[in-house]
Amino acid sequence: MQFRLLKDKVLSKIMLLLTILSVSVVVVIGIGLYYKSVPVLSNSSWWHLLTSREWKPLKGLFGFFPFIMGTLWVTGIAIIIALPLCLLSSFYITEYAPHRVRKILVPFVNLLSGIPPVIFGVWGVLFIIPLIQNHIAPHFVEFST
């Protein structure tokens, strides 16, 4: 009985140490990013950085508006495509699919939901973009990026 309590205390302290370590790493990264961005923040206001369209880092012009709008557009389009598809798929699987089909589809859906979105992004960058760039786009245009 005593060994179990001792093991519990030791592992509790180790988990506390690992938690403090991981939070410290995030704080150190934030402090490093802040100190690296001080020159840019001292030359420009936050409003100018967020609303400017010019991105010329070698000239000291940093405008984040195109990046912010690109993120919002991609997110909006992804939601417009994914939301109906996901909802209709879930309705079909839970309400209408025969038992045999449900037994096949549920593990696949669970597998896909367990994969982080970053992995899908990396897969797209490494496989989908070269596929389109090298094999599909040349049939439609002379040059594509």
Q: What is the pLDDT of residues 2-50, one digit of tens each?
A: 888 889 999 999 999 999 999 999 999 999 999 998 888 888 888 888 8
| pTM as predicted | 0.59
**Cα–Cα distance, 99 to 102 (Å, whole number):** 5
Pairwise CA distance, residues 4 & 30, whole Å: 39
Residue 142 has φ and ψ, to the nearest 5°, of -80, -35
Question: What is the structure's pLDDT at 49?
Answer: 84
- What residues contact 41, with CB distance under 8 A and at least 6 apart? 49
Query: What's the start-to-end Cα distance of the chain, in Å?
Result: 66
Tell whether the model's pLDDT for residue 92 goes beyond 90: yes
Residue 19: the pLDDT is 97
pLDDT, residue 10, reads: 94
- DSSP H/E element including 61: strand 61-62
**96-143 pLDDT, tens digit each:** 999 999 999 999 989 988 889 889 889 988 999 888 888 888 888 877
Query: What is the pLDDT at residue 138?
Result: 85
The phi, psi pair for 56, rounded to 5°, reads -135, 80
CB 93 within 8 A of CB 104: no
Q: Residue 145 pLDDT more than 70?
A: no
Q: Give per-residue pLDDT as tens, 50-79.
A: 888 888 878 877 888 999 999 999 999 999
Instruction: Give the list of residues 6+ apart from residue 61 with CB closer than 8 angstroms, or none.
Output: 52, 54, 55
